[in-house]
């Protein structure tokens, strides 16, 4: 066994001991975010443990353990790690979660887990038989892991007339999905012009707010430099009536941006100064009429 392999094996064993005795970050307990799927096929029950790949990556970084690709691309080196991890799980030194984490460290940089690594000719009969009894692991993207968790909170039941589906009740968290991601995990597809969907808490039929284009409705509304945004309000002065936006006076012919829906329309401010007429916003050959209190932007 080379010096590099010995060092990596020692590092792996120390990590297993540390996690078993102290948990994560020195805590006595360890929490493993995982989705466990159970399936039955011809009287046979199998389990699949689904993890967020990011969680295991972060755990690896926290414990500063690295099994480089240069080591694991060699089958003999991989089998050194694989046998160690299997033996520790067989002896009860590590649980199924740390077993899966160990295998993640070995196979994360490979395109797929090498099936021949777990054959009887590679790891021995006893180990091969033991591995066959274990649940398999699958590593998901953060997007898919969170989407899967959310989708499993959907309240679902069948009625005499139709299927009953209600969005999860969420009071302090809002969540957005792309149209494609929402469809993949719920089966509900919105029209092609919808980019983002936002499930409305506790609404039936998976009702969502719909957002078009690339606008993120949760992102801060960035005001262009040199502009002031707010409601356009009429004030009475000694010289007459004048509109203001957050303390900035609006003059005849001033450049104005008017909010409509998710966007802004640029134009030029005109008004009759009689206190009754609507505000005119001239946009090329068109005129838009708005009332006091409308959201606009003016140059500060």
- Which CATH number is 227-299 given? 2.40.10.390
Q: Is the pLDDT at 161 greater than 70, yes or no?
A: no
Dihedral sign from CA coordinates of 212, 214, 217, 222:
negative
Q: Residue 43: which pLDDT band, with cuts at 50, 70 and 90?
A: confident
Q: Residue 220: which pLDDT band, with cuts at 50, 70 and 90?
A: low
Question: Tens digit of pLDDT for each residue in 62-72?
Answer: 888 888 888 88
The residue-averaged pLDDT of 241-268 equals: 90
> How many percent of the chain have pLDDT more than 90?
60
Strand pairing category for 44-52 and 136-140: parallel
User: In sequence order, what DSSP letters do the residues of the chain get, joined into one string?
Assistant: --HHHHHHHHHHHHHHHHHHHH-GGG-S-----EEEEEEEETTEEEEEEEEEHHHHHHHHHHTT----HHHHTSHHHHHHHHHHHHHHHHTTSS-HHHHHHHHHHHHTTSSS--GGGGSHHHH-HHHHHHHHTSPEEEEE-HHHHHHHHHHTTSEEEE-SSSEEEEPPP-SS----EEHHHHHHHH-----TTEEEEEEPTT-BTT-EEEEETT--TTS--PPPTTEEEEEEEEEEETTEEEEEETTEE--TT-EEEEEETTEEEEEEEE--SSSSSPEEEEETTEEEEE-TT-EEEEE-
Q: Is the pLDDT at 240 greater than 80, yes or no?
A: yes
Per-residue model confidence (pLDDT) at position 129:
97
Whether 267 and 298 have beta carbons less than 8 Å apart is answered as no
pTM of the model: 0.70
The residue-averaged pLDDT of 150-157 equals: 92
Per-residue model confidence (pLDDT) at position 185:
96
**Angle between the 142-151 and 53-62 helix axes, to the nearest 10 degrees?**
120
131 vs 124: CA distance, rounded Å: 11
Per-residue model confidence (pLDDT) at position 57:
92
Strand pairing category for 194-199 and 279-283: unpaired
The residue-averaged pLDDT of 3-11 equals: 86
Angstrom distances, CA of residue 275 to CA of 38, 282, 289: 71, 19, 14
Q: Which residue has the tokens 């066994």?
A: 1
118 vs 235: CA distance, rounded Å: 80
Per-residue model confidence (pLDDT) at position 25:
72
Dihedral sign from CA coordinates of 13, 131, 125, 109:
negative
Strand pairing partners for 194? Answer: 212
Per-residue model confidence (pLDDT) at position 44:
86
Q: What average pLDDT is seen over the chain?
A: 89
Question: Tens digit of pLDDT for each residue in 275-297?
Answer: 778 999 999 888 999 999 999 99
In the chain, residues under CATH classification 2.40.10.390 are: 227-299
Per-residue model confidence (pLDDT) at position 194:
87
Q: Residue 219: which pLDDT band, with cuts at 50, 70 and 90?
A: low
Angstrom distances, CA of residue 9 to CA of 50, 55, 63, 99, 298: 26, 22, 14, 14, 65
205 vs 188: CA distance, rounded Å: 9
């Amino acid at each position: 066994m080379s010096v590099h392999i010995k060092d990596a094996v020692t590092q792996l064993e120390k990590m297993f001991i540390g996690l078993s005795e102290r948990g994560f970050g020195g805590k006595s307990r360890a929490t493993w975010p995982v989705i466990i799927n159970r399936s039955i096929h011809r009287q046979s029950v199998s389990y699949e443990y689904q993890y967020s790949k990011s969680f295991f990556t972060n755990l690896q970084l926290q414990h500063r353990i690295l099994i480089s690709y240069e080591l694991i691309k060699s089958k003999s080196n991989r089998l050194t790690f694989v046998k160690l991890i299997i033996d520790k799980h067989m002896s009860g030194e590590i649980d199924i979660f740390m077993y899966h984490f160990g295998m993640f460290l070995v196979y994360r940089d490979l395109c797929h887990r090498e099936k021949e690594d777990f054959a009887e000719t590679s790891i021995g009969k006893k180990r091969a038989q033991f591995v066959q009894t274990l649940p398999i692991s699958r590593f998901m993207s953060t997007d898919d892991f969170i989407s899967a968790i959310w989708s499993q909170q959907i309240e679902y039941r069948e009625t005499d007339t139709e299927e009953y589906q209600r969005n999860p009740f969420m009071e302090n968290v809002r969540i957005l999905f792309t149209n494609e991601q929402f469809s993949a995990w719920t089966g509900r597809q919105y029209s092609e012009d919808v980019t983002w969907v936002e499930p409305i808490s506790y609404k039936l039929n998976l009702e969502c707010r719909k957002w078009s284009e690339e606008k993120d409705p949760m992102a801060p509304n960035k005001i262009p430099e040199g502009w002031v945004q707010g409601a356009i309000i009429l004030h009475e002065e000694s010289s007459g009536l004048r509109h203001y936006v957050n303390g900035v006076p609006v003059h005849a012919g001033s450049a104005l941006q008017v909010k409509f829906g998710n966007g802004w329309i640029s134009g030029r401010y005109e008004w009759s100064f009689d206190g009754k007429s609507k505000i005119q916003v001239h946009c090329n050959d068109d005129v838009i009429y708005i009332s006091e209190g409308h959201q606009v932007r003016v140059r500060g």
